[in-house]
Structure 1
């Protein structure tokens, strides 16, 4: 469920749990497309036959593909109205505790850790996110993301 807030309400979000996004399918086709886009064709991602005998028992998603899927998942959790510009400002920390097997589903759970005003009539929010694997025992990704919103 998307939380929709107006720019003027952003400062009230510190500590707010944003819930969980919908599940995202991480298909082999998505992995292959990401490999083509980034020119990262390492066999553990794209060679299904070889990966079957590798350390993960099959192909796995690129860590950066998992991280990139944060953006659409986060967009499902928070919509900010009354802004002219939304900027991904950066990441403070990213870890990939578990690989995402091809064919798995992932989703984002997130909490707003901090909110602060920034120059240029902006507000910066820091979000602690966890990308979960459906049925997994460890997260695929744990991150702290920083976004800026401007009027």
Structure 2
């Protein structure tokens, strides 16, 4: 097997609770922040996807605040998923069958490019690079499973 761990069914893989550690770097200013928290993937009411609830603490410029985010992972074909914002807007597709996926999300004049990699059954990693007229960011997140599915 190569450096990536194939995921035949993303919803089955993600279900449960994960610990998230994120480093946020503003590459223009040099500022760096950190998020530490919990990410829970639970079945949607209709059973056709997962609701991702992320909550924790984000420290930026020496100030720590609570932070949270909700996304929906809707079942796609052949073990893939469509990732949507909480309000239902499309965010990006996600196919981890080869253990790695690159996704783009245009947002106004900015481009978000995410690289998702799976290391094994209990570890995955995401790097978002955000470029645009007002943004030059890198967000690196490591996820570690905290429960046994």
If the length of structure 1 is used for normalisation, what is the TM-score?
0.35
Structure with greater strand share of residues: 2
Structure with greater helix share of residues: 1
If the length of structure 2 is used for normalisation, what is the TM-score?
0.36
Asked which structure has the greater RCO (Cα within 8 Å, sep 6+), the reply is: 1
